[in-house]
Chain A
Amino acid sequence: MTEASARPMVRSEPPALALESITCTFPAAARDDQPYTAVREASVRVGKGEFVSLIGPTGCGKSTLLNVAAGLMAPTSGSVLVEGAPLRGLNRDAGYLFQADALIPWRSALDNIAAGLQFHGVDRAERTERAQHWLERVGLAGFGNRYPHQLSGGMRKRVALAQTLILDPKIILMDEPFSALDAQTRELMENELLELWSSDRKSVLFITHDLEEAISLSDRVVVLSAGPAAGPIGEFAIDLARPRDVSEVRMTKRFLELHRKIWELLKAEVLKSHVRQKHA
């Protein structure tokens, strides 16, 4: 446990990450098109050590919000605060787990995990040792010199997880990281993620369109409206006991209650998004 650093100027500790009334407008693709507003006036806060899921129908601008939080994209208006300080440029406190494969294809698993340390100027001997440690931690000991294409989808996700966590980021941003995996691998990865997370309780902003995943992992679930001009329309505290096993927790009564409550709100948005896509 790290001691909370004393901040005399601020009474209560600021959230680890705060998105304050973010609006993102993209210029029109064709001349006759209207500019597209993906997100309008969206505010989301992630407390220190809190696991927050953003859930919404596909195409609701979830990834846009996450890119804004990472500093990969500047919002049209609104601000991002990292521990109370406005974000400029890339969010150096954040690690980002992408939905698509983001590993460097010409580097072995070990060298991929060590990449971040290399960019930060850690010498070869130390970064190899630390990468080796993380390789074992994500259960891939002995696969260090495999190239990404020689690993299964689940293994690649593990490497990506280690690649992000080795830098010890204060905030982890995850963009549907497990959506490409089969159901069994996915549950395994979710449990492993919870285990890794519970060991040092980082702040997590997790994006998903899978309600079960959102509830079983999170402390809080934020529901986004269907795009365009998406924004949060509801927030639910998930008061399920930890540590959790994602497959067991899904059988509990409280889980089903929460699921029903959130689904009532989410369903309408999913339908809206369906209708819109059909007519698009």
Chain B
Amino acid sequence: MSGRSTPSGPLMILYRLVFLLALFAIWHALTESGLLPRFFFGSPLLVLEKAARWFASGKIYKHLAITLLETVLAFGCGTLLGLATGLWLALAPAASSLLDPYIKGANAMPRVILAPIFAVWFGLGILSKVALGITLVFFIVFFNVYQGVKEVSPVVLSNARMLGATRRDLLRHIYLPSATSWVFSSLHTSVGMAFVGAVVGEYLGSAAGVGYLILQAEGAFDINTVFAGILVLTAFALLLDWIVTVTERHLLRWRPTSEGARLSNR
């Protein structure tokens, strides 16, 4: 993830690290000097020590694995459901028109309030978190797929039909690739949402996961552990985002970039 702006490459990474250190230093200075109460704002050294101890003892891995599993499951199931529903509704105008207000309503509703219901239905294990994540991921994927199908150029469609494509060929070779390209370009949001679903679900009631660690620490007024949990989650989210960026670059290489556009305008 090298910065594109001037000062380039490694130098920018260095600046970014300096910026991070500066933030921690300010935090440290403010809490050490007593300007901010340590009870509420923690202490960066203790936070880092806590996080380091989690990794050293290996305690964190189990919780990270749970959170990751929930994220992956929510993302996978939500994407499949969104893809199937989006394709179906985009190609069936009658059903789409019938369900339109319900989908809009379901999307407008804050899904987090479903967490208690899911906890009752699916228990405190990973299933209730996956369910919450699915409700978040589903709509992002659904709307993108719907758009992706609607945005297929009519000329490309006519052309494919003239080249002998059957309805099944169109679905497989035109609609599906177009829809998935829209899904890929929304990967950042949907992976992020799956992660949010997992952590929020854990935070609202669970027996494992990073959200659970934070919940427990908060119950014991252990603000340093809360911050350590947040720090680990942030680092983890950045890692996920990076994986998505790499995947996206590979999957969407056919898309015109600014460089490609320049090439084709010659």
Binding site for B on A (CB under 8 A): 70, 72, 90, 92, 94-96, 98, 100-108, 115-116, 118-120, 147, 149-153, 163-164, 167
Contacts and interface: CB of A to CB of B under 8 A. Distances in A.
Given A72-B162, A167-B164, 8 more contacts: A72-B161, A101-B153, A102-B153, A104-B173, A149-B255, A149-B263, A149-B264, A150-B260
Contact of A120 (B164, B173, B178, B260): B164
Interface in B43-71: none
B163 A119 contact: yes
Given A95-B162, A119-B166, A150-B260, A103 B156 contact: yes
Contacts of B255: 105, 149
Nearest to A116: B163
A124 to B, nearest CB: 14
Nearest to A155: B264
A115 B173 contact: yes
A96 B263 CA distance: 27
A60 B135 CA distance: 51
Interface in B158-187: 158-166, 169, 173-174, 177-178, 181
A174 to B, nearest CB: 12
A235 to B, nearest CB: 27
B158 A149 contact: no
Nearest to A99: B155
Interface string B223-257: 00000000000000000000000000000011110
Given A72-B158, A116-B164, A152-B264, A104 B169 contact: no
A119 B264 contact: no
B261 interface: yes
Most A CB atoms within 10 A — which of B161, B166, B174, B264?
B264
Contacts of B4: none
Contacts of A94: 162
Contact of A149 (B165, B254, B266): B254
Most A CB atoms within 10 A — which of B162, B178, B253, B266?
B162
26 contacts: A72-B162, A90-B161, A92-B164, A94-B162, A96-B158, A96-B159, A100-B153, A102-B155, A103-B159, A104-B160, A104-B173, A104-B174, A106-B177, A106-B178, A115-B165, A115-B173, A116-B163, A118-B169, A118-B173, A119-B165, A119-B169, A147-B253, A149-B261, A149-B263, A164-B162, A167-B164
Contacts of B256: 149
Contact of A115 (B153, B160, B263, B264): B160
Given A118-B173, A147-B254, A149-B261, A98 B155 contact: yes
B264 A150 contact: yes
A72 B163 CA distance: 12
Contacts of A153: 264
Nearest to B161: A90
Contacts of A104: 156, 160, 173-174, 177
B164 A106 contact: no
Nearest to A156: B264
A163 B159 CA distance: 10
B254 A106 contact: yes
Give 5 closest A-B pairs by Cβ, nearest first. Answer: A102-B159, A116-B163, A149-B256, A119-B164, A96-B162
A57 B171 CA distance: 37
Contact of B155 (A101, A147, A167): A101
B254 to A, nearest CB: 4
Interface in B80-138: none
A151 B161 CA distance: 23
B257 to A, nearest CB: 8
A95 B164 CA distance: 10
Contacts of A92: 164
Contacts of B156: 102-105
A116 B165 CA distance: 7
B172 to A, nearest CB: 10
Given A103-B156, A105-B254, A167 B261 contact: no
B163 A115 contact: yes
Nearest to B165: A119
A106 B161 contact: no
A250 to B, nearest CB: 27
